[in-house]
Chain A
Amino acid sequence: MRRSLLRTCAIFWSILFAVQLTMAQSRMVSGVVRDNEGRPLPGVTVKSGAYTVTTNEEGTYEITIADQENVLSFSSLGLKSQQISVNNRSTIDAVLLSTALDLDDVVVVGYGGVRKSDLTGAVATLKGSDLNKTPASSVDQLLQGKIPGVQVAISSGQPGAGATVRIRGNSSLSGSNAPLVVVDGFPWGDAGDLKQINPEDIESIEVLKDASSAAIYGSRGANGVIMVTTKKARAGTPRISLNTLNTVSTLSVKPDLWRDGIEEAVYANEAALNGGTPLSQLPYLGEVRSGVYFPSIAELRGLDPNKPQWATNTDWADLVYRNPFSQNYTLGIDGGAENTKYSMSGNYYKEEGLAIKNAYDKYTGRLNLDQKLTNAISAGTNIILTYTNNTGQNLSAGRSRIFPVYDENGNYFRTSAMDFGNPIAIANEVLNKSKTIDVLGTVFVSAKLTDWLQFRTQLSTKYGNSIGDVYEPANVTFRGYENTGYGAINNYNNNELVNENYLTIDKTFDDAHRLNVVGGFSLQNSRTRTSNLMGMNFVNDNLQNENLNSAKTKVLSNGLSASTLHSWFGRANYALLDKYLFTVTGRADGSTKFGENNKWAFFPSAAVAWKLNEESFIKDLNAFSELKLRASYGLTGNQGISPYQTLDRFGSERYYVGAQNGFMTGFGPGLAGANNDQGLTIVGGLGNKSLRWETTTSYDLGLDIGFMNQRFTLTLDYYDKHTKDLLRTRTISPSSGFDQQWVNDGEISNRGFELGFNAGIIQREELSWSVGGNFALNRNKVVAMGESDRVVTGSLIEMVRQNVNHFIIGQPMYAFYGYRSDGIIQSLEEGIEAGLTGAEAIPGEIKYMDIAGADGSPDGTIDPTYDRVVIGDPTPNFIYSFNTSVSYKRFDLNAQFYGVYGNDVFDLQKMTPSRQVQRWTPDNPSNLYPRANNTRGYKASDFFVEDGSFLRLQNVTLGYNFRPGIIKGISNIRLYASGNNLLTITKFNKGFDPEVGLDGINWGNYPRPRAYSFGVSVGF
């Protein structure tokens, strides 16, 4: 509305000046003004001396220049101003780059927006155009390092893998810690897998960090809120844009594998021998074992006089990994008339994985339609369609080089009947596909009831469907073997229906009192249905999972979970004299997920801000374009539990009672859930009628500073959050017959500091240089957990036979708990003296430390009760990022660095082959790496803990914008090259990327690619 007014003005003024032109003795200059993506910019003010015009819908302008003038200046809200010398030219085109947000821009805050200068809470904004140009299957990945206080961990490089997003630390032990994602006012759910949105379609992303801003989302606001706003329709002649991005990737880290079969076999024999295997039964002795010939070391070396040198030396890394090629194309159109405006786009995205036969395809379509019905009523719709297709899996390259891929008959080679590790067989024969379809739609009607009162109702629906196809042939995987072929079809579908209705009052009284009030209610229904069809025992593998009914054994499972959320919400913003700002927010949520004793929750918050720059004593300094102090306090909640957790739920199992009745079905207490790493089923199903939301109380103090008309800006925030009534699955005594129960107990605190800055160091006509950065420090601490001082979390790690991540009172969440080690035992006496016995005291083993005993002092034995302590913290001390961008003439160069500092990684992959070579032997008394021993029972100890700090050159983009109109019919062309994950500086294990999940455990995930992209943007 405002924009179209501007346009009308623009046209009017151009005509006016055109008329003036004929009457004055002066030159005429015309041209087109575009943004950095080549789109025409209407409404740009072009000025020369006394003359001022604005650009029209097509971005063109025509201006008169008096004889004595030689400079044209271009300016527009939200864009960097530019001065261009005319020098007798009659055509001058300009490209205006976007600046940091202007103070008058509207920031989306949930159920409405506020001017940036009127913000009272901690809200960060990112423009869609500031997202890195690199392949990313979910938008979340692109947020890494962009916003202070938003931590994004991408632990897997697998195509289609999401990211873990945290705002201001973790605050829930086992409820969700993911922020709420709201897209165009529609609450979608947890962040982390935002695949439905094409990054090219994003206008802006707002992050609500403190309680004042997030309380409007009540029981879902405690983890912060990410508001995504897609590009809106713009009136004008149709604008067509095409963006392409083609990418070639490589492994960013060279895998640490055995260099040859000899070293590998020597190690295996030595490990078996040290592990107690009799000499006659070592693996590599030149004997047939379970039908397979294992060469001897001499034969591998070519030193066996009776046999030729062993010829096989398979380079698995070469077979398993490739340099994948990925593609991304977006075609967008927008335009329309004053009454009907539209914006639509289509995207095709294909990402190939580093592992062979692993790929991810995505198609997205989007339509925004705005219709003005009367002067007061408008309606519109917003539709997104997404289709994805994921095939393949991670493959291991760590297989023995001694054996070939295929045997002499062309079958996949197996070292024994129980060998299911051939990655080529897995890549070729295992079917692992998933397809998803998402349909998201919103219809809204907004009515201006009076000039200060507006009503909006919005009905949104989200439908998500996924189908997984699995088939594992009878001789390729263990599951396939166990079942003589295993096939499955896994169906999932999810339906969300949201209706939101609210009134907005926007009124100014006596120029001094500005009031903005929002109030309304919302209803949300979620239903998730699943069904899994499994077939086992097939005649052959020909049909894969296409005819499950032909399986001898068939298993079905299905489920439905439904929840309803009813809410009332309201917010009032009051500005006094445009200096003193007050905000009060509240939301009441009633959820079916909560226990019958606690159905409704209320979350209030309040904030104040003082615009010092509006005070005359600051104005007189003439230094600050912005100086604002903010303070907020409030409550937010987290209801991150699944439905039905408050009810007791029975499990079901079958038992055989003889041929006559066969299997009978039993029901009873104890609902079997997922298996842990050791195949032990975790049993839950114990109800809790008092189960409710978690409550986070938070304070935020902020300061926004801007100099020189926002050319230099700085934002500082300090916060202190306390979360209580933590939802957690308490591990309960196995003697109860259950393993866990959902309870509310405990408390977590997060305190932190955030800083973000931007500096336009050089802003000249042909050269500009800006630098930005952010820094976030968060101190997380478990304050209380009901009756327990220490609770295990994560999963049991088979290698060390305990959980490594623990919640411990007074420690950060996920702290590593285990033994201390002190190098390697060099003599038996040393081992025994250390309190170790048996095989653990042998020279070459890890020397664990006797820290304490029953009376607090070392007791001469190493035991789990007294000798385990906190051995590491996976939470970084701080996260930082900085970026710089330079533009010179038509070139621009951007670089972004991202770093985390001070986090520990529990490196399960520590004993890589390059380290196994350096193992302890009597001749090489290493104090770093233990001897080869295949029956060692590793203890979880600081032996595995390494510094996970890193600094990464995340992205470098070099672009060139062609002169507009260089090709007829094409308004702009931009070419750019972008490199992602280019360089990582770290002390971590050389064979792996240091970025692991938030649990800080290096599981040896899918490797991360280093991506080299080439992009083209064309506007028609």
Chain B
Amino acid sequence: MKMNKIIAGICLAGIASSTFLSCSKLTEEPYGIVNSNSFYKTADDALSGLIYAYAILPEVGYYSRGYYIIMELPTENLTAKSDAGQANFELEQLRTTSTNSDLDNLWTYMYRGIARANAVITNVPNVPNMPDADRNQIIGEGYFLRALHNFNLVRLFGEVPLRLEPLVEAEQIPVAKSSISDLYDVIIADLKKGEELMSAAKNFEGRANRVAAQALLSKVYLHLASAKASGSVGYDFVANSDEMYNEALRYAGKVINDQQVFNFTDVLPDIWNTEVYKNATVSEHIFDAAVDRSGEREGNYSKLPNMFLPDPGFVMTIPYNPSDPNTETINIGRGWNHFQMEAHHYNSYHASDKRKTDLIVSEVINPDGNVIQFGINDFSRPFTRKFIDPLRDADKMSTNSPVIRYSDILLVYAEAAGPTTEAYAAVNKIRNRAGLGPLSPNLSPAAFREAIVEERAFELAFEGNRLFDLRRTNSMEKVLVEKYGKSITSGAYFFPIPQREIDSNPLIQP
């Protein structure tokens, strides 16, 4: 029977193929997956690994939102809209708990950043056939990124686990907390390596160079110096605050005096003009988490401006530079009204301070051409225009999140130096741009430094510096409680380590 033969044939074929298949080794050939076996083989791989390390910065959980929520809400600068959720209000009211989801989120992102930087630091030295200059630059940037994350961690949480190797085996997971002193040793060593390995030439947008490492190092030393000098919690280990001030001055001096790629921007709104700072050969933006409105998802583009912009029910238009009578108007859209400016901050400016008149918007033009005023206690309040993108594509915006800005380092320089002529010159340069007179002369070192910290409150408002400034000068209670009447229940100097870390890391003690 013909059928019979066909089926017998199928049968035999089945047996034959089975026998053939049963000889295979059952090894898995992953599809579409890159891993440690197939990566870090070429110079392009090395660069790609570094890009991955940078890519954590503009994520929603980090500099595109999370960082600002955690840095700005506890201070007198901003509060949150009423339905912003429990985690925001725990921060706003300084009663943070270990289950605060915003803190958990930021913690997680910072450590993901460290893991990515560690992969660069460990693997790139072994990539064959790579020019030394390229290799050094990439490794140096890896060190810079690791230092940035660790510096953020130690300032936010105090003692935290220190992770310096890529995770390969599960045995590496439990890690005890390191002392604040050990953390700073690593941060400083990493930044010094970064300074040594990276070139001073201007790097691509969103990438660090030698100046960025020096600038960050000056901030690290200033933090140590002022925390020691003011007796801030956890910084007893610092041997000598003056020594630290000197180091801060030395590195800030390198940024101020020894390089040409970053400089002071004379017109305030220009500092924040994406089309200026992204394209100018020289800008204030020493290091940014970079985004672009052509990105595919949040993290590639930014929605951060929406957090600051109110939602008055219409698309807002504002003059680009209120100090300039010939200024054009720009359309800034409408936001989510998530952050709301607090009267404490709004009312603390000198009336003629351009950082209030030019950078805080209290009246906008609606589509009918009418001017609408926002009161500081209204639903739609005055807002900062540091984060805007007039060329926004719906909610996709190109506003980089500034991590280190030239003016910041200028003030670091002044604070580190104390009341010297150069320091006065530095701070007055900033006051002058803001339309204010020079700082009172002949201040004592303590009074001078206090004045600089206050200057920072205006100059660097909403950029995520204020909380650290208050912490390192031991003035959380003095300013927030005594001056502004807020209450502090927990998290004044260090936030609690997230519960998820405590639950999953047997070596950590809460």
A373 contacts partner chain B, Cβ-Cβ < 8 Å: yes
For A735, the chain B residues whose CB sits under 8 A away are 107, 111, 160-161, 163, 175, 501, 505
A661 contacts partner chain B, Cβ-Cβ < 8 Å: yes
Given contacts A499-B18, A669-B116, A864-B97, contact A290 B313 (CB under 8 A): yes
B255 contacts partner chain A, Cβ-Cβ < 8 Å: no
- Name the distance in Å between A333's Cβ and chain B's nearest Cβ: 23
B351 contacts partner chain A, Cβ-Cβ < 8 Å: no
A599 contacts partner chain B, Cβ-Cβ < 8 Å: yes
A49 CA / B87 CA spacing, docked (Å): 87
Q: List 22 A-B contacts (CB under 8 A).
A: A276-B82, A290-B313, A373-B7, A445-B10, A457-B11, A459-B14, A483-B394, A521-B18, A648-B168, A650-B34, A655-B51, A656-B300, A664-B51, A669-B166, A733-B175, A734-B500, A734-B501, A734-B504, A736-B115, A736-B163, A738-B115, A865-B499
A668 CA / B48 CA spacing, docked (Å): 8
Contact B31 A736 (CB under 8 A): no
B89 contacts partner chain A, Cβ-Cβ < 8 Å: yes
In the complex, which range does the number of interface residues on chain B fall in?
A: 35 or more
Given contacts A738-B115, A935-B86, contact A787 B18 (CB under 8 A): no
Using CB atoms, name the residue of chain A closest to B47. Answer: A664
Per-position contact with B for A253-286: 1 when CB-CB < 8 Å, else 0?
Answer: 0000000000000000000100111100100000
A305 contacts partner chain B, Cβ-Cβ < 8 Å: no
B314 contacts partner chain A, Cβ-Cβ < 8 Å: yes
Contact A501 B311 (CB under 8 A): no
B15 contacts partner chain A, Cβ-Cβ < 8 Å: yes
Per-position contact with A for B63-98: 1 when CB-CB < 8 Å, else 0?
Answer: 000000000000000000011011101100101011
Given contacts A371-B3, A687-B35, contact A643 B290 (CB under 8 A): no
For B206, the chain A residues whose CB sits under 8 A away are 655-658
Contact B89 A935 (CB under 8 A): yes
Given contacts A658-B205, A680-B105, A741-B170, contact A934 B83 (CB under 8 A): yes
Contact A667 B39 (CB under 8 A): yes
B292 contacts partner chain A, Cβ-Cβ < 8 Å: yes
A790 CA / B506 CA spacing, docked (Å): 12
5 nearest CB pairs, A to B: A737-B115, A666-B52, A937-B86, A666-B51, A291-B313
B336 contacts partner chain A, Cβ-Cβ < 8 Å: yes
- Name the distance in Å between B176's Cβ and chain A's nearest Cβ: 11
A566 contacts partner chain B, Cβ-Cβ < 8 Å: yes
Contact A669 B115 (CB under 8 A): yes
Contact A733 B173 (CB under 8 A): yes
- Name the distance in Å between A525's Cβ and chain B's nearest Cβ: 8
Contacts A373-B4, A738-B167 aside, 17 further interface pairs with beta carbons under 8 A come to: A457-B14, A459-B10, A592-B26, A648-B36, A650-B36, A654-B51, A655-B55, A656-B58, A657-B204, A664-B48, A665-B51, A666-B53, A668-B116, A670-B112, A670-B115, A733-B174, A735-B505
Stretch at the interface among A217-225, A423-431, A555-563, A616-624: A555-563
For A768, the chain B residues whose CB sits under 8 A away are none
Give A604-655 interface residues, CB cut-off 8 Å to B.
643-644, 646-655
For B500, the chain A residues whose CB sits under 8 A away are 731, 733-734
Give A714-762 interface residues, CB cut-off 8 Å to B.
730-739, 741, 743
Using CB atoms, name the residue of chain B closest to A458. Answer: B14
Q: Choose one: B52, B85, B175; the contact of A668 (CB below 8 Å).
A: B52
B132 contacts partner chain A, Cβ-Cβ < 8 Å: no
- Name the distance in Å between B444's Cβ and chain A's nearest Cβ: 40
Contact B26 A590 (CB under 8 A): yes
Given contacts A558-B32, A741-B170, contact A417 B311 (CB under 8 A): yes
A411 contacts partner chain B, Cβ-Cβ < 8 Å: no
- Name the distance in Å between B131's Cβ and chain A's nearest Cβ: 18
For A856, the chain B residues whose CB sits under 8 A away are none
- Name the distance in Å between B83's Cβ and chain A's nearest Cβ: 6
Contact A734 B104 (CB under 8 A): yes
Given contacts A418-B336, A731-B504, A732-B504, contact A377 B4 (CB under 8 A): yes
Contact A649 B175 (CB under 8 A): no
Q: Choose one: A657, A662, A678, A733; the contact of B207 (CB below 8 Å).
A: A657
B101 contacts partner chain A, Cβ-Cβ < 8 Å: yes
Contact A289 B313 (CB under 8 A): yes
Contact A934 B207 (CB under 8 A): no
For A667, the chain B residues whose CB sits under 8 A away are 34, 39, 45, 48-49, 52
Contact B116 A523 (CB under 8 A): no
Give B110-162 interface residues, CB cut-off 8 Å to A.
111-112, 114-116, 118-120, 160-161
A92 contacts partner chain B, Cβ-Cβ < 8 Å: no
Q: Which residues of B contact A (CB under 8 A)?
A: 1, 3-4, 7-8, 10-11, 14-15, 17-18, 21-22, 24, 26-36, 39, 45, 47-58, 60-61, 82-83, 85-87, 89-90, 93, 95, 97-99, 101, 104-105, 107-108, 111-112, 114-116, 118-120, 160-161, 163, 166-168, 170, 172-175, 204-207, 278-279, 290-292, 294-297, 299-300, 311-314, 334, 336, 377, 379, 393-395, 489, 498-506, 508, 510
Using CB atoms, name the residue of chain A closest to B504. Answer: A733
Contact B39 A379 (CB under 8 A): no
Per-position contact with B for A785-816: 1 when CB-CB < 8 Å, else 0?
Answer: 00110101000100001100000000000000
Contact B86 A801 (CB under 8 A): yes
Most buried by A among B47, B97, B111, B166: B111
- Name the distance in Å between B501's Cβ and chain A's nearest Cβ: 5
Contact A560 B52 (CB under 8 A): no
Number of A residues whose C-beta is below 8 Å from B?
111
Using CB atoms, name the residue of chain B closest to A865. Answer: B510
Contact B18 A555 (CB under 8 A): no
A385 contacts partner chain B, Cβ-Cβ < 8 Å: no
A704 contacts partner chain B, Cβ-Cβ < 8 Å: no
Given contacts A731-B500, A731-B504, contact A561 B31 (CB under 8 A): yes
For B97, the chain A residues whose CB sits under 8 A away are 863-864
- Name the distance in Å between A143's Cβ and chain B's nearest Cβ: 33
Using CB atoms, name the residue of chain B closest to A936. Answer: B86
Using CB atoms, name the residue of chain A closest to B112. Answer: A737
For A688, the chain B residues whose CB sits under 8 A away are 170
Given contacts A482-B395, A734-B498, contact A801 B173 (CB under 8 A): no
For A484, the chain B residues whose CB sits under 8 A away are 394
A652 CA / B51 CA spacing, docked (Å): 10
Contact B115 A659 (CB under 8 A): no
Q: Choose one: B22, B290, B377; the contact of A523 (CB below 8 Å).
A: B22
Per-position contact with B for A404-429: 1 when CB-CB < 8 Å, else 0?
Answer: 00000000000011100000000000
A910 contacts partner chain B, Cβ-Cβ < 8 Å: no
Most buried by A among B45, B297, B395: B297
For B111, the chain A residues whose CB sits under 8 A away are 734-737
- Name the distance in Å between A500's Cβ and chain B's nearest Cβ: 9
Contact B55 A666 (CB under 8 A): yes
- Name the distance in Å between A552's Cβ and chain B's nearest Cβ: 8
Most buried by A among B24, B49, B108, B161: B108
A536 contacts partner chain B, Cβ-Cβ < 8 Å: yes
Contact A654 B205 (CB under 8 A): no
Contact A499 B14 (CB under 8 A): yes
A553 contacts partner chain B, Cβ-Cβ < 8 Å: yes
A562 CA / B27 CA spacing, docked (Å): 11
A665 CA / B34 CA spacing, docked (Å): 13
- Name the distance in Å between B295's Cβ and chain A's nearest Cβ: 7
Q: Choose one: B4, B83, B334, B336; the contact of A374 (CB below 8 Å).
A: B4
- Name the distance in Å between B306's Cβ and chain A's nearest Cβ: 10
Contact B82 A934 (CB under 8 A): yes
A20 contacts partner chain B, Cβ-Cβ < 8 Å: no
Contact A566 B105 (CB under 8 A): no
Using CB atoms, name the residue of chain B closest to A272. Answer: B82
A244 contacts partner chain B, Cβ-Cβ < 8 Å: no
Contact A737 B15 (CB under 8 A): no
Contact B34 A374 (CB under 8 A): no
A837 contacts partner chain B, Cβ-Cβ < 8 Å: yes
For B489, the chain A residues whose CB sits under 8 A away are 837-838
Given contacts A659-B279, A668-B49, contact A566 B26 (CB under 8 A): yes
Contact A592 B28 (CB under 8 A): yes
- Name the distance in Å between B73's Cβ and chain A's nearest Cβ: 14
